[in-house]
Chains A and B, each alone.
Chain A
Amino acid sequence: MTEPQSDADFFASVVAEIENEAQIRATSGEYPRALLRTLDEEFRRWLPDSASQQGIEESIRGIELASYVDPVVPIDSRSRLGRKVKYSIRRLTYFYHRHITQQITVLGIHITRPLRLLDASLKQLSRRLTALEDSLDVNTIEREELLAGLSGGKLTEDLSAEIVTAMSSVAGRILMTDSVDLDLLRSLQNPGQSAYGVGPAVIPGNDDLELRYESATDHLNVLPGQSLAGLILTGMTDRLSLNEQLRTLRKALNKCAPGARIVIIITLPKYWEQLLGPVGADLLDGRPLHPETWVHLLKREHAENIEVYKASDQSSALVTAILK
């Protein structure tokens, strides 16, 4: 018997029905929301900061265990004679085996002692770092709220057009990170080009686009050198601290091939301050740099043909360049 609808279509319609049902129940609050929140908290409570120290401890314990070598050599054998011969040899050479094993044990102790010292230093360092993080980590909630208020800025049409023009001659991989404009990314899907978006807020479900839900830093860490023909930096340029922006730029440029086209999208500082107000602007760690600063930085990174375009509404700007 043949089914009236293909499996793929049927299962897709079932999934849509399930998602709809889940949506209705979620909206009506008809699920253990409080419990799930506490489960999340429980998960986070158990999430270790790092397992490296535990790894060191385990390794040291392993070395200590392994360094206690048994001087009694096994004498199992398939024949009785073999066993007797092995037993005799063991009796005769026991003094030798014991001497060797004792030296191995001493060596083990000498190896583990500095490792224990190193372990203790790391733990002390970790404690100091935690204390330092605690002292710096004030107003986190306020900052998160302010950052959330910053998202959602749409690229103006004139700047989008400039980016498309700038990227039109690029052949190869183009990375847009970390605030991905889906329409812009879509307009960069030309023959010979392979544009993709990476970001912590990337929304899956746009099957025509290559999107990766991860932080730009994590992505850049695994990308091989000189693998990008084009780079569009956006989003992070409005909110990361100066140090983070500079590190990201340097890391990203390392992944670009010579001749790569660079585009940096920034909210203009004046507009950004208006958007946030004085309190927000003061409390946030990060802020957009002026276009002139990006020009200066790109020059220092040996970029050429550096151009600045300001949006018609004076809200944002583009800095484009070609990497030498």
Chain B
Amino acid sequence: MTISVHQLVPTISPRDAVGNHTLFIRSLLRAAGYDSDIFSMFRHPELTGETFYIDQLPADADALVYQFSIGSPIADRWAQHGGRKFINYHNITPVEFIGKWDGLLEAEVELGRDQMSRLASICEHAICDSDFNRSELDSLGYNSTTTIPVLFDVASANPDASTLKSINKKKSGLQILFVGRIAPNKAHHDLIAAVRTFRDVYQNDAHLHIVGTDGPPNYRKMVDAVVAHADMADHVTFHGSVTQEQLVAFYQGTDIFLCVSDHEGFCVPVVEAMHHQLPVIAYNSTAVGETVGQGGLLLNDKHPLTIAAALNKLNEDGNLAGRLRRAGVKRAACFNRETTSNQFTKEFVDLMGSP
């Protein structure tokens, strides 16, 4: 009889990182010969035909992988099931970054952190996106943990011509890019302070491009207020959600990728930037350091003046930019989907035996 390894995920959506990862895992489990389906509470309309509502979870499944990134009643379903239990942990943003900005999310995050410690004793094995995530589970007493990066396809498409053109229009100064949801843990307000300082001290025509959807509305309002207060309205562009083609255009058309996040469980845009030969400057926090590795400049503090000095150094030193481009490509290759898929397949075969 075929071994069944099913996945549980609170929400499944085709265009978010955990959703894509869950779909990739299902494909590789099926390719390896396991019976594998996805069970969720909230399913995107595009995926209702190929995923199942949580109530349809078979009681006799051999193993369940819980895709863990937020608090959800699904975790209790997973815990009560009789099959072997594994977790794939993608990190839960600490409540201090969310609590004050988004009450509903705060409640879910609190629940998630609480579940995280309660599930330690019943989880047989946990796979974490990064060593940083792994250390969180280790400190909670999880028996067996390992690190395998999240599965994702680097944004690859033909760059959108009009986006490239609009970036080139502003080309008199340094074009700085950040990609990520506008959320407090990603510290957009610090990005603005840093670019303003760079403009004041070194180069007064630099421009900051921010790609990403809005997170908590209150945080977005605050970021807008900081932009206005710093007199940066003409020097920062919020592009919102963009197509793959537009995203590639941003990676290819800008000069530097700057990340000053306070908390990341991994950081896919950093890898994408490195893949597209965009030099990366990042604040060395949480999992950012290990994601960047030796593929970018890692700063130990994020005082606006330090970041400004780093932007200036990179802008003026062609040799440094060249080395960062080469090192970035090398580093991005470590997260190649094929390599990561093989790691996941081997992990499941080791855990479950050959199907």
Q: Is A292 an interface residue (CB 8 A)?
A: no
Q: Are A47 and B222 touching (Cβ within 8 A)?
A: yes
Interface size on A, residues (CB 8 A): 44
Q: Is B212 an interface residue (CB 8 A)?
A: no
- Give the 9 A-B residue pairs with the shortest CB-CB distance, closest first: A55-B103, A46-B222, A51-B103, A22-B306, A55-B104, A52-B103, A21-B309, A22-B309, A22-B305
Identify B106's interface contact among A17, A49, A55, A204, CB under 8 A. Answer: A55
When distances are taken between beta carbons in the complex, the residues of chain B under 8 Å from A8 are 294
What CA separation (Å) do A117 and B132 show in the bound complex? 43
**How would residues 197 to 228 of chain A score, 1 for a CB under 8 Å from any chain B CB and 0 otherwise?**
00000001100000000000010001110010
User: How many Å from the CB of B259 to the closest CB on chain A?
Assistant: 15
Q: Which residue of B has the minimal Cβ distance to A30?
A: B201
Q: Is A148 an interface residue (CB 8 A)?
A: no
User: How many Å from the CB of A196 to the closest CB on chain B?
Assistant: 9
When distances are taken between beta carbons in the complex, the residues of chain A under 8 Å from B197 are 31-32, 36
User: How many Å from the CB of B317 to the closest CB on chain A?
Assistant: 8
What CA separation (Å) do A42 and B222 show in the bound complex? 8
Q: Is B216 an interface residue (CB 8 A)?
A: yes
Q: Is A59 an interface residue (CB 8 A)?
A: yes
Q: Which residue of B101, B106, B298, B305 has the most chain A CB atoms within 10 A of its CB atom?
A: B305
Q: Is A136 an interface residue (CB 8 A)?
A: no
Q: Are B226 and A42 touching (Cβ within 8 A)?
A: yes
Q: Are A205 and B300 touching (Cβ within 8 A)?
A: yes
Q: Are B100 and A47 touching (Cβ within 8 A)?
A: yes
A to B contact number (C-beta, < 8 Å): 130
Identify B313's interface contact among A17, A30, A222, CB under 8 A. Answer: A17
Which A residues from 1 to 55 make CB contacts under 8 A with B? 3, 7-8, 10-11, 14-15, 17-19, 21-22, 25-26, 30-32, 35-36, 38-39, 42-43, 45-55
Q: Is B207 an interface residue (CB 8 A)?
A: no
When distances are taken between beta carbons in the complex, the residues of chain B under 8 Å from A18 are 297, 299, 306, 309-310, 313
User: How many Å from the CB of B273 to the closest CB on chain A?
Assistant: 16
When distances are taken between beta carbons in the complex, the residues of chain A under 8 Å from B339 are none
**Which A residues contact B (CB, under 8 angstroms)?**
3, 7-8, 10-11, 14-15, 17-19, 21-22, 25-26, 30-32, 35-36, 38-39, 42-43, 45-56, 58-59, 204-205, 218, 222-224, 227
Q: Are B200 and A31 touching (Cβ within 8 A)?
A: yes
What CA separation (Å) do A48 and B103 show in the bound complex? 11
User: How many Å from the CB of B74 to the closest CB on chain A?
Assistant: 20
When distances are taken between beta carbons in the complex, the residues of chain A under 8 Å from B169 are none
Give the interface SS of chain A, mostly helix, strand, loop or mixed.
Answer: helix
When distances are taken between beta carbons in the complex, the residues of chain B under 8 Å from A35 are 196, 200, 230
When distances are taken between beta carbons in the complex, the residues of chain A under 8 Å from B47 are none
**How would residues 250 to 270 of chain B score, 1 for a CB under 8 Å from any chain A CB and 0 otherwise?**
000000000000000000000
Q: Is B327 an interface residue (CB 8 A)?
A: yes
When distances are taken between beta carbons in the complex, the residues of chain B under 8 Å from A227 are 139-141
Q: Are A48 and B100 touching (Cβ within 8 A)?
A: yes
What CA separation (Å) do A47 and B97 show in the bound complex? 11
User: How many Å from the CB of A212 to the closest CB on chain B?
Assistant: 10
Contact of A10 with B229 at beta-carbon distance under 8 Å, contacts A22-B303, A224-B117 already known: no
Q: Which residue of B has the minimal Cβ distance to A173?
A: B139
Q: Are B189 and A39 touching (Cβ within 8 A)?
A: yes
What CA separation (Å) do A22 and B113 show in the bound complex? 38
Q: Are A49 and B100 touching (Cβ within 8 A)?
A: yes
What CA separation (Å) do A8 and B305 show in the bound complex? 23
What CA separation (Å) do A203 and B320 show in the bound complex? 29
Q: Which residue of A has the minimal Cβ distance to B118?
A: A224
Q: Are A224 and B218 touching (Cβ within 8 A)?
A: no
Q: Is B193 an interface residue (CB 8 A)?
A: yes
Q: Is B221 an interface residue (CB 8 A)?
A: yes
When distances are taken between beta carbons in the complex, the residues of chain A under 8 Å from B313 are 14, 17-18, 21
What CA separation (Å) do A218 and B101 show in the bound complex? 18
User: How many Å from the CB of B282 to the closest CB on chain A?
Assistant: 11
